[in-house]
Amino acid sequence: MNYRNLRGLIAAGTLVIAGVVSVAADEITTLSGKRFTDAQALRLEGDGIQIKHSGGTDHVAWSDLPPALREKYKSDPRLIELARKEAEIDKLKSDLAKAQDEISHLKSDLAKPRPEAKGKIVVEEKPIKPLPELPPLKPEDVIESHDLVRYFQTDANGAGQRFQKQSLRVRGVVTRFEPKMFRRTYSVSLESPEGTTLVCDFFYADDYRTVYAKERGQKLVAAVPGRGELPLLEIGQTVVIRGRCDGSRKPEVVLSGCEIAR
């Protein structure tokens, strides 16, 4: 759902709420002795009800209402529907705030130069063992990112048969981050031979509000409510990433559902 759709839904929901409740006036005498004339229920609240009356508006606690009125308001379908609509609006406002936060961070990041690394990563080309000579894959095996990409470059069919749809542990140096706006995903690129990039796709953890790059694109952090910024990765950091190999999508080799292997 995009930013404009969220704004439209909030505006439409607010109009719906404005027309939900039209309750006949009551005369209310609370158990504590307060008297309200021409009283109309406006909304259900956690510990009571908000009313409009001839003297203004007031909050009346459930414990201060006569049992008959308490039951009447708690079971009024119009008030129940209003509470449901207000909860939907609160959820939409929360989603809008998250979207605005992501846009703010991404605009700030895009305005800065984004070097892919602190200096060019130079990888010495070493011979790789032919695919037919490799032993069967084991869950604990770790393959270098550079080697995995070279297998797909030199023998795409053979590499697909060996690696595709397999859960792999891949070691490499982080060269780039790419948060995906509104999708709660982000990608991390690892060092690769020229012409092809190894891209690792991650989902947000449940408690991440957003993920963004900072310090001129050198660090990737997550914003976590109540905890502030949580460091995730840095350009130039050597990591082992576990993910499902989706094969070659030129000019990329893709791992999906990734996580940092500890």
- What's the first-to-final CA gap in the chain, in angstroms? 34
Quick one: 4 exposed, middle or buried, by C-beta within 10 A (0-12, 13-18, 19+)?
Answer: exposed
Query: Is residue 201 included in any domain, yes or no?
Result: yes
Please state, in angstroms and rounded to a whole number, the distance separating the CA atoms of residues 213 and 58: 48
Say which DSSP state 236 is in.
T
Query: Is residue 8 included in any domain, yes or no?
Result: yes
Strands 252-260 and 197-203: parallel
Query: Is residue 104 included in any domain, yes or no?
Result: no
Tell me if the bond preceding 127 is cis, omega within 30° of 0. Answer: no
13 pLDDT above the threshold of 90: no
How do residues 214-231 score in pLDDT, each as one tens digit?
888 899 999 999 899 999
Domain range for 131 is 116-260
User: Higher confidence at residue 36 or residue 86?
Assistant: 36
Number of domains in the chain: 2
pTM of the model: 0.55
Pair 253, 181 in one domain: yes
